[in-house]
Structure 1
Amino acid sequence: MDCYLDPGEAGFAAFKALPRDQPIHMLNLLRFRDRAEYPADHPNAEKGWTGRQAYAEYGRTSGPIFQRVGGRIVWRGAFQVMVIGPEDRQWDDGFVAEYPTSAAFLEMITDAEYRKAVVNRTAAVIDSRLIRFNPGKGSGNGF
């Protein structure tokens, strides 16, 4: 089973090539480690946190930057069952983050304080997906 934690070069290049002045929704699917895996010299390495606890720390430390760039969570849910898709894919958490523009997202991930906070995400997550959507497309009552 392939696991994904960070953007691949091709996916990130495609993200950056899209318009940067439009709102975006980012679907986040997360699977947490049983035990967080920090670098040995990190202050949180000896705390014995679960992946979920380390992700909560990521939220606490990255949240102010997320809010400063105009981000907000528009949906959050708890995984129940894979109806269509690989049965071996289980997600612990899922949410949609909205950004006023993709430039705001890029501002967040290049912020020096965010880069310090993201070590908590890396320690917490064993597998993830991050999928960009245009929130203005597909609205309405029909399929």
Structure 2
Amino acid sequence: MKVFNQVNPSPELMQEFFGGEEDGAFVMVNLLKFKDKAEYADGRDTDLSGAEAYALYGAAVVERLAAVGAKPRYSGPVTGLMLGEVEENWDMVALAEYPSLEAMKTMIMSPEYQKIAVHRVAGLEGQLNIKTKPGSL
């Protein structure tokens, strides 16, 4: 299995993801890898670590999730790997539940989200987003 962390999807991948048939609620699993030091696209000087910049985004995105009927479900640091093998472990896992693809698209396209996303991009080395269906064991 090849693993490739990215910060932003390509336009083609965005079209494929949001262009599919709507199938209701889902949980997005975010596997996050942070930069050692945050790097802002506008070149601003900062002493923030990547994790600290992402924490600014994380605190603000809760309101953006609520605005589209989505909910944060879990976030926490990765502390070990029991099974499998990866070249380098992720730093954090975060789960968010969305009522629909349209809700997620509305959120990430909003000016309010774009304003806070600068912290996400500044802090992330890369991530995996895995769409799952909510369910129970």
Q: TM-score range by the shorter chain?
A: 0.7 to 0.9
Maintained 8 Å contact 1:53/1:124: yes
**CA distances 1:24-78 after superposition (whole Å, capped 9, x unpaired):** 110001011110001245xxx2231011110111123333211111121223332
Map 1:1-143 onto structure 2 (within 5 A): 2-20=4-22, 22-41=24-43, 45-136=44-135, 139-140=136-137
Whichever residue aligns with residue 27 of structure 1, its letter is V
Maintained 8 Å contact 1:72/1:99: yes
Whichever residue aligns with residue 16 of structure 2, its letter is A
Indicate the SS of the match to 1:73: strand
Change (3 A) 1:17 1:39: closer
Maintained 8 Å contact 2:51/2:123: yes
In the alignment, the residues of structure 2 paired with residue 39 and residue 75 of structure 1 have an alpha-carbon distance, to the nearest angstrom, of: 28
Query: How many positions carry a matched residue from both structures?
Result: 135
Moved runs in structure 1, 4+ residues, more than 6 A? none
Maintained 8 Å contact 2:73/2:96: yes
Change (3 A) 1:89 1:9: farther
TM-score norm. by structure 2 comes to 0.85
After TM superposition, the structure 1 stretch with the greater mean CA deviation from structure 2, 85-94 or 103-112, is: 85-94
In the alignment, the residues of structure 1 paired with residue 87 and residue 12 of structure 2 have an alpha-carbon distance, to the nearest angstrom, of: 25
Indicate the SS of the match to 1:98: strand
Maintained 8 Å contact 1:21/1:103: no
TM-score norm. by structure 1 comes to 0.82
> Which sections of structure 1, spanning at least 5 residues, go unmatched?
none
In the alignment, the residues of structure 2 paired with residue 122 and residue 76 of structure 1 have an alpha-carbon distance, to the nearest angstrom, of: 18
Maintained 8 Å contact 1:25/1:99: yes
Whichever residue aligns with residue 15 of structure 2, its letter is A
Identity %: 30
Maintained 8 Å contact 2:65/2:72: no
Indicate the SS of the match to 1:128: strand
Which of the pair has more CA radius of gyration?
A: 1
Whichever residue aligns with residue 32 of structure 1, its letter is F
